[in-house]
Amino acid sequence: MYVTVNPPSVVVELISEERASRCISRIDLLNKIREEILWHDQLTKRLTLCQFSPELPAWWKPGEHDKDLLIGAAK
């Protein structure tokens, strides 16, 4: 089902409640990264606790790239 909104050239597709809920959860997570995590006074100390995981690429530097990932997600 589609809903037309003003201006008439904009058509919005309805989504399920589950999909909308997942989308809102992702938005909440990104807001938390942007507003809380990147400004936390213990962030640098906590990033030193990051450990390498076999699921990450070999070039990944724990802590350093984790912070870069948070900054990128915040953008």
pLDDT tens sequence across 17-63: 999 999 999 999 999 999 999 999 999 999 999 999 999 999 999 99
Partners of 13 in beta bridges:
2
pLDDT in tens, 9-22: 778 889 999 999 99
Asked if 68 and 33 touch (Cβ cutoff 8 Å), the reply is no
Q: Give the pLDDT confidence score for residue 13 in this predicted structure.
A: 86
Q: Which residue has the tokens 């990033």?
A: 47
| Cis peptide upstream of residue 7 (ω within 30 degrees of 0) | yes
pLDDT at 7 over 80: no
With the CA atoms of 8, 16, 28 and 56 taken in that order, what torsion angle do they form, in degrees rounded to the nearest 10? -110
Which is more confidently placed, 14 or 7? 14
Q: What is the pLDDT of residue 59?
A: 97
Look up residue 9 and give its two tokens: 């050239």
